Structures are given as C-alpha cells and as structure tokens.
Amino acid sequence: MTSAPSPALPLNLSQEVSLLTAALVDVDSVSGGETPLADAVEAALRAQTSLEVTRDGDAIVARSRLGHSDRVILAGHLDTVPLPATAGARGTVPSSWDGTPGEGVLWGRGTTDMKGGVAVQLALAARLFPSNAGTAHDGAGAPAAAATAGRDVTFVFYDHEEVEAAKSGLGRLALNRPDLLAGDFAILLEPTNGTVEGGCNGTLRVEATTVGEAAHSARAWMGKNAIHAAAPILARLAAYEPATVTVDGLDYRESLNAVGISGGTAGNVIPDRCVVTINYRFAPDKSLDEAEALVGALLDGFDVVRTDGAPGARPGLTHPAAAAFVAVVGREPLPKYGWTDVARFSELGVPAVNFGPGDALLAHKDDERVAAEDIRACLSALEVWLTA
C-alpha cells in the first residue's frame, strides 16, 4: 500500500544542503508515489542548472557536456519505504530537527535512505553546472566563485528502488536508454557513513519444497508429515558455516538463512506440503548460477527452485577515478554486504562504488535520521574530487 502523493514546493538547489535534504524529505515519495518529487527535481534541474535533462517515467537524468575525456555517474533513488506505523515515530514526514535547523540532526523518512544523498547530487548539479542566469553557490547557501568540474558528470535520479526489481526505474533506464547510463565510473549515494564501500554481495532467493501425504491428525500414521520432512533442510542450513571471501582486497561476508516457512491447511490435517524460503547473500566472486549451484548441492535430494536473484558487483576500486576518490575521502574502503544498484552499473560495464551520508543501520527504521554535518562532509568530498 502506498501513501497519497504530497504536493511539492519548488526546490531551491542553492540552499544549505541539509536544509535541501529536509525539503526533499517533506515531499512524501513512498515507492509508487514518486511523481510529485520527480516533478520538483526535474523543474529545479531545468531552471537552476545548465545540464541536459531527460525524463523517463519518474526517472530523471541530467548530463553535462563539457567535452572531458571521462564521465562519472552520480546516482540515487527518489523513493522511500512506507512511513512508520508507530505512533510518535520521528522517522516520518514531515521532517523535524534536533537543534538548530541546518546544524543539528534531521529526522524523517528518507533522511538516511537516501534523500541526504539525493540532496548532495542536486547541490553539486547547481554548484558545478549553474544556469547561465543563475549564481553558483557553495552548498551552504552562500554565493561562491564558480567551480569547474574536471570531469563530465551524469546525475541519475530514479524511482522504485525499494520494491521488486522488475519495477526499478534504473532497470527501466538500462533497457530504454542505456546511452544515458554510459560512463567510466559510478557512485551510488547510498548511506555509508561517509566511507567508500566497494561493490556489493549478490542475493539469491530459493524455495525448497517437501511433499507429504494428507491425513486426519487423529490417524497421523495414515499420512506423511511434509513439515517434519523439512527438518533436514533446516538442520543443514543451521550447520552451514558461511564463507568470508576476499575480492580485490575487500573481505565479503556471506550468509545463508531460512527466511520463511509455510505448510499445513488446518489444525487437524497432517500437512502434505511444506515450503522453506531461503536467502543466500553471496560474494561478488560468484555468478548467480554458481550461487544457485552451491545451495542446490547443500540441499541435495530436495526440490529447490530459484524465485529471485541478482548478481553482486566487484569493488571497482582499481579504476583510476576510484583510486583518486578513495584518496580524497581518506578512509580505508569497506565491502558492501547488502545488495545495491552498483550491481546494475557493473552489469553495464561501469565500475561503481557506494558513498553517501548517513548510517545504513538507520535506514527504514522508525527513528531514521542523519546529522547535517555528515551531509555537508559528503558534499565536500565529492566536490573536491570532481573539481580536481
């Protein structure tokens, strides 16, 4: 269920970046309801930057054409998960502040995942590529000397990231307009606490099914209990020791877990079917088929069917642009354990990393929040790198 779209006020891309984040949060954009925010983002980019703007559904792509030899992509999604159902939760819409607005902590749905990152994208677009009639600003709201981008930049804002992959706005762009996603290196501004996180684990979901024979539970010996027959599946999963795999210098921890189980039709009937749903988060050294083969071998003798999956992405840190960016950030890069859209860029042949403001552990939580200073630090690092 999606919430009703809320009207969007015009966005001022030159205001202080954490205040811009608050303005984005205040536009409710639960997956399926991104249109008002997409409208506001498109209008602001067309009016306040010199970028070439293209729209596909609720995805917006804004590209510079400075003629540089390399092009980097900065990408972020516009949608959020549903608003909290808990009374009094602060990770909701509209946003609220602890302390002085622009100086304290900003609370609200999407502050971490990932409207702080989207605000950084928009601030950079206005700062590096101001409209001919506009004035460049420093991301803190004050006029500044125009910065010069040392690379061409593509800004990608897309819909439907928080739902099933088939609805992904980035996936739709890859199918409809892959030319818009061409580049030498990409950064996805997902929350990473301001640390570069390389690549991502892949994800595989399978169902393991056992079949029994129904009977009245008072005469259980006349049937065969399919739920009992699933016990060896759970035992093998519990005994399995997930690997830690080193890929291009980063250690990716895998995990393999039962995440759901269903079976039975009534309280007095021996169940004749049981389905165990299993999720495998696998290191980017494996293909999706290889991951499926590993699970199939572990559960040999059972009916195992893939229901969903996406490959991971290698770190991408060997690209010169990535190395230069890591040097600017000044922190040791880490692996990304969760799946992110860097994998989509990897499939397109574009090495990609995750880098954005906010703590990923706060994403989707009722107390979702981000510090204003963390958003400014992310903006500063990206601007230094892009103008070098």
* Residues marked as catalytic: 79, 161
* Closest CA relative to residue 151, chosen from 68, 63, 49, 51: 68
In this structure, are residues 252 and 283 in contact, taking their beta carbons and an 8 Å threshold? yes
C-alpha–C-alpha distance, residues 179 and 71, integer Å? 12
**The two structure tokens encoding residue 197:** 């996180």
> Residue 143 pairs with which residues in a beta bridge?
137
- Beta carbons within 8 Å of 209's beta carbon, 6+ residues apart: 273, 274, 275, 276, 302, 303, 305
CB within 8 Å of 346: residues ≥ 6 apart: 199, 311, 313, 314, 316, 352
Question: Within a 10 A sphere around the Cβ of 182, how many other Cβ atoms?
Answer: 14
Q: Are strands 96-98 and 105-107 parallel, antiparallel or unpaired?
A: antiparallel
Question: Residues 142, 51, 59, 69: what is their CA dihedral angle, to the nearest 10 degrees?
Answer: -110
Contact 124, 383 (CB under 8 A): yes
